Amino acid sequence: MIKAFVKNESGATAIEYGLIAVGIAIAIITVVKGIGTSLNSAFTKVNSNLQ
């Protein structure tokens, strides 16, 4: 029973998929934040040029 528990890798696989999902989420958040900052800058320029 203990040998079967040690050889069981289903929990490890779930943790690996979870870590991959977290990594992808962090990458998406970073990209969206960067795009948001550049868009904010562009709209600020447009707004100041229109005034």
More confident residue, 43 or 51: 43
Q: What is the dihedral of CA 21, 25, 31, 35, to 10 degrees?
A: 140
Q: Quick one: pLDDT at residue 22?
A: 96
Report pLDDT digits (tens) over 25-48. 999 999 999 898 889 999 999 999
Taking the C-alpha atoms of residue 2 and residue 10, their distance in angstroms, rounded to an integer, is: 15
More confident residue, 37 or 23: 23
